[in-house]
Structure 1
Amino acid sequence: MRIWSAKSHPTRPLGIALGVVLDAVVGDPRTAHPVALFGRAATRLEQALYGDARPNGVAHVVVCAGTALGLGVLAERVTNPVVRTALTAVATWAVLGGTTLAREGAYLAEALEDDDLTRARARLPHLCGRDPARLEAPEIARATVESLAENASDAVVAPLFWGAVAGVPGLLAYRAINTLDAMIGHHSPRYERFGWAAARLDDVANYLPARLTGLITVLVAPNRSRALAVLRRDGHRHPSPNAGRCEAAFAGALDLTLGGTNVYGGRTEHRPTMGDGPKPEAGDIRRAVRLTRAVSLTAAGLAVLAAWGLRRRG
């Protein structure tokens, strides 16, 4: 009887596949989510390291992301293939957010369809950082579609990409980097310098996944030629080096126009528009949710295939 070692056993593709299934069935827990626990630990470390200077932020990112990476390396060293597969599955489930992303989009679609702006405004911060207080239904619809597009990369494609390429270390390190960016990687008096390292590292970590998200969106779009045309024409117009690729592909795939004026905590940004169609309405959110699910399913299949092909390097 042949005994497979963890190195020769396809632990990575099996673990990723099981993790995707777990996310689809279970979703994110309401309490004690591993990412939330990481966020609380990062906040405590910030209190100890904070200073209005880039070196302080670099130290914060190195400790937080380095710890996540180290835990992943330890998991990859487990020799028992069953345990290693289980660890990969749990790590994949912990870093994925595709199921919750789709649920949040569906919730906002329902609230807008019911003309319940109060409920929609209260829920929007679950998806993005825009100030919802004065947003009317069309702007909430646009914010939701844009957030679904960007998070299709951040919450699904990017973690799967790094999981396929680098296993558990890639999964955990990516989620740590992306979480830090969401926490401190934005423009504000407190984080302009301290959050610089988190923002730049997140840009690097998402560079390839964002472009892959754009291509996958084109692949599953109802009109591929239109989606590709808008992606090529408008993908670079967004102030983010990565988010524009996702949003432009969604704009083309859904035949919508995205972009415009956004308000973040009193700070106003005027962004170029992307796409040629009408601005999003409540019904378009459900189409965006379906597109997000198609992108997620395709990305999961590609990640499993890639991990299978690379398994002898693990």
Structure 2
Amino acid sequence: MFFELAAFAYLFDMLFGEFPCKHPVVLMGDFISAFERRFYDNHIFPGALLVIGLITLALLISVTLVYLCGLLPSRLSLIVLAMFASTGLAMNMLHESVAALLTAEQPKQALSYLVSRDTQNMTETEIYKAGLETWAENLSDGVIAPLFYLLLLGLPGIAVYKAINTMDSMIAYKTGRYFYFGKTAAIVDDIANYIPARLTALLIVLLAEDKQRAWQCLLRDGNKLESPNAGYPIAAMAGALGVALGGDASYHGKIKHKPTLGLPINPVDQSTLAQALQMKTGINLIVLSLLTAGALL
């Protein structure tokens, strides 16, 4: 287990956020786009080839970096590896992006950068609901899941996970263009996020003021969404806040019917989103405490 590496990486993300260079996820996105332009065909095989190719590339580069860092003095090696690993964690960026909805002059436009659903006709309630769902789901995808694989497998683990998650965000859609081409990416992402999504949900329950309600909503509604993973942190967040999330939404001009998660005890508004974002402090404290304890032991 790479507790010390993960602790330093998480601390770097907390203190510095994104480094002023081209982000590895952007480079992965460039690779995916270039592959799609050259080899796209809406069948399983080219999509599977993309998954294998990008995972292999991420693995080779990360293993090479680990080898090169191993040539440095041990403490310097740890710091450099942690800096690389921190680029796979997105707590600061996620928090800032969702918090921007609270102050944006055009919140619909700000939200459009965060979600794949159509935002132009959203009501204020729908905007903040989408913000809450994005915050909850991406606590798993952007924080807990990459940290989980960093702990298990070191830098190669987080690099491969970010490759999988980036492909899922770009091509794993059930649209005419990507239905078969993105199927392998979607399946691999579902597998990779199975444990982290449930750990994230448990973390949200732990931070909830009404833990019993959050736990009950998690158990009752966590498996209601089409995704085998996304519903768990969203249901836990809905229960923690006493709100109803989910429901119908428009994607690519078509209404998608989705079940409701949680209980409509409180309204979904600006203050609800602000309350959810305050969980960042508690999450940071719990995660850093566990990582520090693991490193010391």
- TM-score scaled by length of structure 2: 0.92
Partner of 2:64: 74
Go from structure 1 to structure 2 and tell me whether the alpha carbon gap of 1:301 and 1:162 turns closer, same or farther (over 3 Å shift).
farther
Percent identity reads 34
Cα deviation per residue 1:50-99 (whole Å; 9 max; x = unaligned)?
11100110000110111112222233344342343134312321111110
Q: CA–CA distance in 1 between the matches of 2:188 and 2:30?
A: 20
Query: What does 1:1-314 align with in structure 2 at a 5 Å threshold?
Result: 12-29=2-19, 32-77=22-67, 78-79=69-70, 80=72, 81-111=74-104, 116=105, 119-276=106-263, 277-303=265-291, 305-306=293-294
1:259·1:272 contact (CA, 8 Å) conserved in 2? Answer: yes
Quote the RMSD (CA, aligned, Å). Answer: 1.9
Q: CA–CA distance in 1 between the matches of 2:100 and 2:219?
A: 31
Q: CA–CA distance in 2 between the matches of 1:307 and 1:213?
A: 21
Go from structure 1 to structure 2 and tell me whether the alpha carbon gap of 1:46 and 1:83 turns closer, same or farther (over 3 Å shift).
farther
Q: Which moved more, 1:77-86 or 1:178-187?
A: 77-86
- Which residue identity is paired with 1:66? T
1:234 shift after superposition: 0.8
Unpaired segments of 5 or more residues in structure 1? 1-9, 310-314
Go from structure 1 to structure 2 and tell me whether the alpha carbon gap of 1:304 and 1:198 turns closer, same or farther (over 3 Å shift).
farther
Size of the aligned set, in residue pairs, is 293
1:160·1:299 contact (CA, 8 Å) conserved in 2? Answer: no
- Which residue identity is paired with 1:91? F
1:260 shift after superposition: 0.7
Q: CA–CA distance in 2 between the matches of 1:13 and 1:289?
A: 26
Go from structure 1 to structure 2 and tell me whether the alpha carbon gap of 1:125 and 1:30 turns closer, same or farther (over 3 Å shift).
farther
1:126 shift after superposition: 2.5
1:88·1:167 contact (CA, 8 Å) conserved in 2? Answer: no
Q: CA–CA distance in 1 between the matches of 2:185 and 2:111?
A: 24
Go from structure 1 to structure 2 and tell me whether the alpha carbon gap of 1:30 and 1:185 turns closer, same or farther (over 3 Å shift).
farther
Q: CA–CA distance in 2 between the matches of 1:91 and 1:306?
A: 21
Structure 1 runs of 4+ aligned residues shifted over 3 Å read 75-78, 299-309
Q: Helix, strand or coil: the match of 1:191?
A: coil
Cα deviation per residue 1:12-55 (whole Å; 9 max; x = unaligned)?
33332222222122222576222112211221122222111001
1:136 shift after superposition: 1.3
Cα deviation per residue 1:106-132 (whole Å; 9 max; x = unaligned)?
210223xxxx4xx10110022211111
1:252 shift after superposition: 0.8
Q: Helix, strand or coil: the match of 1:212?
A: helix
- TM-score scaled by length of structure 1: 0.87
